[in-house]
Amino acid sequence: MSLTLKGIHHLTAITAQAARNVDFYTRTMGMRLIKKTVNQDDTSAYHLFYGDAVASPGADLTFFDWPVAPERRGTHAITRTGLSVGSTADLEWWKAYLAEKDIATGEIAERAGHVGLDFEDFEGQRFRLVADPDSAGSHPWQKSPVPAERQVHGLGPITISVPDLRRTEPMLTKVMNMHEVRSHPAGAGIGETHVFAMGDGGAAAELHVEINPDLAFAQQGAGGVHHVAFRTPDKAEFDQWVERTASFGVRTSGEVERFYFTSLYFREPNGILFEIATDGPGFTADEPLEHLGERLALPPFLEGRRAAIEAGLKPLS
């Protein structure tokens, strides 16, 4: 049996307004703040994690808090994040709900094989709510302002934009063991889209590659995405991914211990940053489940610097 990624692990985006970010994703989107920590490579910045009630791998939408200019949109970038809900009826509820919040949406329509609803957050972060019946076994957050049956279940699919498929496809299929399951012709403002699946696929295990040869290079910034991470279940399989990427000559970070998971970073040929991350040990490694996200959590290797780190962070409320 070949080594297989299990789906999307998390997606990390960029915000320049951390306090407003927390308000939007907890109070408007109804997600649980499951970890309030810092960027381990830049401890002046928050790293905020939102997810479901039990902090499931595959449900983590995360943000680095950086004082940067807005993203300049283009190609060579992750361009849209899928958020799964249970059904088309849920999409109709979300369309009405977002309208009540003065948040513009697109129309509910099928896009690249899934029925979805497009919208953006207050910084222009691009999302698509996707009707995914397979996500129904989710873990709703009882303190959410969004009704339990309407809440976001998880991530996927994730859309990236590249100018030419020929460089990206070998990375996805030969190195990462994904397989192309379908393609969709270009539409209004949307390039030809190729859908690559991990394992049995489905929304939570799909990467959509949109081909846009005429767009300029994107420039990362607030409202943009920093990287996407893919799931591997444990350290044993993670070690196999380290060996596999090395065997193909892929330049990687090597193993990076993040305490909540172990990571391997590398870029596909168009410069988009990918990560492979373990499902465990998870976010209860240093906080009880019922109190996740209530205080600033620091991994053990940063705990000795807590006072200085806290002094450099701005309040979130």
What DSSP assignment string belongs to 16-73?
A: S-HHHHHHIIIIIS--EEEEEEEETTEEEEEEEEEE-TT--TT-EEEEEE---PBPB-
pLDDT at 30 over 60: yes
In tens, the pLDDT along 226-253 reads 999 999 999 999 999 999 999 999 999 9
Q: What is the pLDDT of residue 250?
A: 98
Q: Mean pLDDT, to the nearest integer, of 108-119?
A: 97
Establish if 239 belongs to a structural domain.
yes
Query: Which alpha helices (H) appear in 146-198, and where do they start and end?
Result: 165-170
Between the alpha carbon of residue 96 and those of residues 1, 38, 40, 107, 245, the distances in Å are 46, 35, 39, 11, 45
Count of positions (residues) in the chain: 317
Establish if 2 belongs to a structural domain.
no
Q: What is the dihedral of CA 300, 301, 305, 306, to 10 degrees?
A: -30
- Helix then strand count (H, E) for the chain reads 6, 16
Radius of gyration of the chain (CA): 19
Judge if the upstream peptide bond of residue 145 is cis by omega within 30 degrees of 0: no
Q: Cα separation of 281 and 279, whole Å?
A: 7
Q: Which helix (H) or strand (E) holds 88?
A: helix 88-100
Residues 6+ apart with CB under 8 A from 29: 50, 146, 152
What is the distance between the terminal CA atoms of the chain, rounded to a whole angstrom?
Answer: 50
Name the band, by pLDDT with cuts 50, 70 and 90, for residue 1.
Answer: low
Report which DSSP code applies to 79.
Answer: E
Contact call for residues 154 and 135 (beta carbons, < 8 A): yes
CATH of the domain at 23: 3.10.180.10
pLDDT at 111 over 80: yes
Amino acid identity of residue 39, one-letter, is N
Q: What is the pLDDT of residue 146?
A: 98
In tens, the pLDDT along 265-300 reads 999 999 999 999 999 999 999 999 999 999 999 999
Q: What is the pLDDT of residue 137?
A: 65
Averaged pLDDT of the chain? 96
pLDDT at 212 over 60: yes
Q: Which of 3, 50, 52, 6 is nearest to 206 (CA)?
A: 6
In tens, the pLDDT along 48-78 reads 999 999 999 999 999 999 999 999 999 999 9
Establish if 76 belongs to a structural domain.
yes
Q: What is the dihedral of CA 43, 252, 75, 91, to 10 degrees?
A: -70
pLDDT at 215 over 70: yes
Q: What percent of the chain has pLDDT over 70?
A: 99
Q: Cα separation of 4 and 1, whole Å?
A: 9
Establish if 123 belongs to a structural domain.
yes
Q: Mean pLDDT, to the nearest integer, of 137-153?
A: 93
Establish if 316 belongs to a structural domain.
no
| Count of structural domains within the chain | 1
Establish if 317 belongs to a structural domain.
no
Domain range enclosing 148: 8-311
CB count in 10 Å sphere of residue 147: 12
Q: What is the pLDDT of residue 187?
A: 83
Task: Encode 124-139: b = buried (16+ Cβ within 10 Å), e = exposed.
Answer: ebbbbbbbbeebeebb
Establish if 3 belongs to a structural domain.
no
